[in-house]
Amino acid sequence: MEFCPKCKALMVSKNGVLKCTRCGYEKKLDKNVINTYKTTEKVGKREAVIFTKSEVKTMPTVKKECPKCGNNEAYWWLQQTRRADESETRFFRCTKCKYTWREYD
């Protein structure tokens, strides 16, 4: 991998030439160096993932009582809301009514 001397962007190899992806700067490669920039991996077509529901449940859940509706299941996640030397804030979102609340340590 090599970076452009002008704009510091990534340069890609094609036909024995390194070309900057941002400003177009080109650098010809010596024959001794060309093989180190060749890629041999073939990338096939990517599969498309289509979600048919408007809400996909990907967050972890925990047994926690919602203070609004009394439901006993909530999604949870951690987020750094204060300084780095302080602990994260735990957020919960009710799986039933979608009410969101937080807890601190």
Residue 35: phi, psi to the nearest 5? -65, -25
Based on the residue annotation, tell me whether 88 is a catalytic residue of this protein: no
Based on the residue annotation, tell me whether 47 is a catalytic residue of this protein: no
Of the candidates 30, 55, 85, 105, the residue annotated as catalytic is: 85
Of the candidates 65, 86, 88, 103, the residue annotated as catalytic is: 86
Question: How far apart are the two ends of the chain, measured CA to CA in Å?
Answer: 45
Q: From the annotation, which residues make up the binding site?
A: 4, 7, 20, 23, 66, 69, 94, 97
Q: From the annotation, which residues make up the binding site for Zn(2+)?
A: 4, 7, 20, 23, 66, 69, 94, 97
Residues with active-site annotation: 85-86
